[in-house]
Chains A and B, each alone.
Chain A
Amino acid sequence: MLDPWTALTAGLDLVLSPTVLALAVVGSLLGVVIGALPGLSGTMALAIMVTLTYSLSPAEAFALLLPTYAAATFGGSLGAILLNIPGTGAAVMSTYDGHPLCKRGEAGFAIGIACFTSFFGGIVSALFLAFLAPVVALWALRFGAHEYFAVAFLGLGIIAYISPSLPKGLLAGLLGLLIGTVGADPQTALPRFTYGEASLLGGLQFVPVMIGLFGVGEILAAAGAAAAEPMIARQRLTGMLPNLRTIRRLAPTTLRSTLAGLVIGSLPAAGPTIASVVAYGIEKRIGRNRAEMGKGAPEGLAASESANNAATGASMVPMISLGIPGDAVTAILIGALMIHGLRPGPALFLQSGDLVSSLFLLFIIGNLLFLAAGLLGMRLLVRVLHVPPRILYPVMLVLCVLGSYAVQNNPFDVMVLLVFGVVGFAMRLLAVPIAPMILGFILGPLVEDNLRRALMLSDGRLMDFFTRPLSGALIVGTLVLLASPYLSRLLFRRSLRLREDG
């Protein structure tokens, strides 16, 4: 196994080549732009870019892909802040506070927070990946089906909890879980909810569902809004470099959320999306400025961004060590490894230590590059978003359509996009939060698979979910969290009545 020093040095020869470094720069720039533009999700970009790497060496291929991954995770926040349309699933939580900050005329400040907290989380996670990957992978092997189910249950519970309306958040989460069951049953291959359509046997594709809900739905809703004002107010991007006061203010949140991102991200099958949700939930529970969360609190944005970038490197721990993806992006990266004849797992560390080391180094380089790209290229990028909506919306819709089509070259995915565009539009009209639905959709297969496996292993005993310490703690904790608003209200009314009687 790699020791920390070897982990950071063995791959230097592979990385310090002009081609590799040039590809890393290209990957970072593309990642920021693609992540920011609605309709061009980081997932879709990576999926297409993998096909461009067939003729490259493994180090060159990942020089393109890894910086794109790091940069797109940050880039997704730009769409979330400026347009209220996250470019990636991991940026969903950034819409809660990022966009309100933008509407207040503090877009530059918000982008600066996103840039630096993402960079901090990303660099820490890159070092974490290098130093602790073997150790954490060994520890994570102890997780069984009960624990995986419990982690996914926690993620869903938190996203519903932090929604403006808890019942509607739960409703959206359940709908997301249900649409995640579309396709062939993973254990018996029996088709479910396919209605005889062959394209649905593999389930609904994540990209058209996400772009439909967040992209098409948002654009349709915005097109129906009153004044035809620019999508973002014409504001100068000032205050992007945080001052000492801001750094001191956000330091506790950033450190806390980075740690949450590292822990959650390193869990097999948990990735940046869940990490940002959990970190945001923690901040909303114990953060100093929790009353302002959801209304433009810098802490909310810092929590989401540092956690999601911290989880990027951490989610590569189970990806490299066990071959288990943390999200759609890491699933694509596993595919890229296998295209180049590399099978992720402990054997990869033993047989290709220098390549594994080069992956760590490329990830560090990618995080450094997106910071530069974000700060230097931001004004140019935002100019694109100042184009009047009547011109920008149709272009974005075309990007949504082509982005959905490009996943599998299947026109059916465009139909899925349109259906979920209508769903997203309707949800906005009815004030039903969308984030729980997309999270339910991502986590649905994981939740079901582990639930059934857990029941199989425990011979149908439901109590085993509670008697296993970690699983029990997570499930009970989630249930308490969901009940807490109602319990507090009940206790408050009781104390009020007692005071009136007394």
Chain B
Amino acid sequence: MGKKGVRWRSLLPGLLGLAVAGGAWLEARSLPYQDVSAGLGPALFPHLLIGLLCLLGGGLVAHGLMAPSGTHRTDGPPAPDTHADGDGRSDWHRRPVWLRPLALFGLLVLLGASIERVPALLSIFAFLTLAMAALGERWDRSLLYGALASAAVYLLFGTVFGLTIFLP
């Protein structure tokens, strides 16, 4: 008998659906039902959705696991291309490509955490500079473009839209 394959792009979403349904159930099980005259209560809709998610998630998992025998890995998450091209920019571009989204996201978390705690212009400038450098821009150009972009952002959000975080 041939080795069974796995359809990862069905299995993983199915598992995700089941995980979300399970997590939601833990929270929603204490929600009360009420009379029909009161619209059946706050539990109806979440429970209905959780049930449907379980059915659908289970179906996707089953579909993912029941690939025809003899089929090896039939699909899967797109493998990131580890050959990043470059043009004499900074060294970062030679690192594995998956580091880029990770670095960007990490910097984004720092930016989000600094909102209302650090002067907005400063944190935005720092984010822009570091993020551009993380994506392969030279440091000197990152500083310049970061400064220009920060000024433009301030003009738009600080003066035109009057966002409060730019107020001293």
Q: Which of A167, A224, A452 contacts B59 (CB 8 A)?
A: A167
Bound Cα distance A430, B28 (Å)? 27
Closest chain B residue to A431 by CB distance? B9
Interface contact A430-B16, CB-CB below 8 Å: yes
Q: Which residues of A contact B12 (CB under 8 A)?
A: 430
Query: Does B165 belong to the interface (CB within 8 Å)?
Result: yes
Interface contact A223-B135, CB-CB below 8 Å: yes
Interface contact B60-A402, CB-CB below 8 Å: no
Q: Which residues of B contact A452 (CB under 8 A)?
A: 39-40, 44-45
Q: Which of A390, A422, A455 contacts B135 (CB 8 A)?
A: A390
Least Cβ–Cβ distance between B38 and chain A, in angstroms: 7
Query: Does A463 belong to the interface (CB within 8 Å)?
Result: no
Interface contact B135-A224, CB-CB below 8 Å: no
Query: Does A227 belong to the interface (CB within 8 Å)?
Result: yes
**Chain B interface: which of A242-250, A302-310, A321-329, A391-399?**
A391-399
Closest chain A residue to B83 by CB distance? A226
Q: Which of A177, A220, A390 contacts B49 (CB 8 A)?
A: A177
How many residues of chain B get a CB closer than 8 Å to chain A's CBs? 73
Query: Does B22 belong to the interface (CB within 8 Å)?
Result: no
Interface contact A219-B104, CB-CB below 8 Å: yes
Interface contact A192-B97, CB-CB below 8 Å: no
* Contacts of A425-451 to chain B: CB distance below 8 A: 425-426, 429-432, 447-448, 451
Least Cβ–Cβ distance between B138 and chain A, in angstroms: 10
* Contacts of A202-229 to chain B: CB distance below 8 A: 216, 219-221, 223-228
Interface contact A228-B84, CB-CB below 8 Å: yes
| Chain B positions 8 through 46: 1 when the CB is less than 8 Å from some CB of chain A, otherwise 0 | 011011101100100010011001101011111110111
Bound Cα distance A105, B147 (Å)? 33
Query: Does A178 belong to the interface (CB within 8 Å)?
Result: yes
Interface contact A430-B9, CB-CB below 8 Å: yes
Query: Does B111 belong to the interface (CB within 8 Å)?
Result: yes
Closest chain A residue to B93 by CB distance? A228
Q: Which residues of B contact A389 (CB under 8 A)?
A: 135
Closest chain A residue to B116 by CB distance? A411
Closest chain B residue to A37 by CB distance? B156
Q: Which residues of B contact A397 (CB under 8 A)?
A: 104, 108, 111, 127, 131
Q: Which residues of B contact A411 (CB under 8 A)?
A: 112, 115-116
Query: Does B101 belong to the interface (CB within 8 Å)?
Result: yes
Interface contact B111-A401, CB-CB below 8 Å: yes
Interface contact A398-B164, CB-CB below 8 Å: no
Interface contact B101-A456, CB-CB below 8 Å: no
Q: Which residues of A contact B131 (CB under 8 A)?
A: 393-394, 397
Q: Which residues of A contact B9 (CB under 8 A)?
A: 430-431
Q: Which residues of B contact A456 (CB under 8 A)?
A: 36-39
| Chain A positions 171 through 183: 1 when the CB is less than 8 Å from some CB of chain B, otherwise 0 | 1001101100100
Q: Which residues of B contact A453 (CB under 8 A)?
A: 39
Interface contact A402-B153, CB-CB below 8 Å: yes
Interface contact A195-B57, CB-CB below 8 Å: no
* Contacts of B108-158 to chain A: CB distance below 8 A: 108-109, 111-112, 115-116, 124, 127-128, 131-132, 135-137, 145-146, 149, 153, 157
Q: Which residues of B contact A393 (CB under 8 A)?
A: 104, 131, 135
Least Cβ–Cβ distance between B93 and chain A, in angstroms: 7
Query: Does A406 belong to the interface (CB within 8 Å)?
Result: yes
Closest chain A residue to B53 by CB distance? A174
Interface contact A193-B124, CB-CB below 8 Å: no
Interface contact B153-A398, CB-CB below 8 Å: yes
* A220-B101, A224-B97, A401-B108 known; A394-B128 Cβ under 8 A: yes
Q: A181-B45, A390-B136, A456-B38 are in contact. List 19 more A-B contacts (CB 8 A).
A: A52-B162, A167-B63, A178-B46, A185-B42, A188-B38, A223-B101, A226-B83, A390-B135, A391-B132, A393-B104, A394-B131, A402-B163, A406-B161, A409-B164, A411-B115, A421-B108, A429-B77, A432-B13, A447-B45
A-B pairs with lowest CB-CB distance, top 10: A394-B131, A226-B81, A452-B39, A390-B135, A185-B42, A460-B36, A220-B101, A414-B112, A448-B45, A224-B101
Sample 5 A-B pairs with CB under 8 A, ordered by A number: A171-B13, A175-B17, A393-B104, A411-B116, A421-B108
Could you tell me which B residues sit within 8 Å of A by CB distance? 9-10, 12-14, 16-17, 20, 24, 27-28, 31-32, 34, 36-42, 44-46, 49-50, 52-53, 56-57, 59-60, 63, 77-78, 80-81, 83-86, 89, 93, 97-98, 100-101, 104-105, 108-109, 111-112, 115-116, 124, 127-128, 131-132, 135-137, 145-146, 149, 153, 157, 161-165
Could you tell me which A residues sit within 8 Å of B by CB distance? 48, 51-52, 167-168, 170-171, 174-175, 177-178, 181, 185, 187-188, 190, 192-193, 195, 216, 219-221, 223-228, 389-391, 393-395, 397-399, 401-402, 405-406, 409, 411, 414-415, 417-418, 421-422, 425-426, 429-432, 447-448, 451-453, 455-456, 459-460
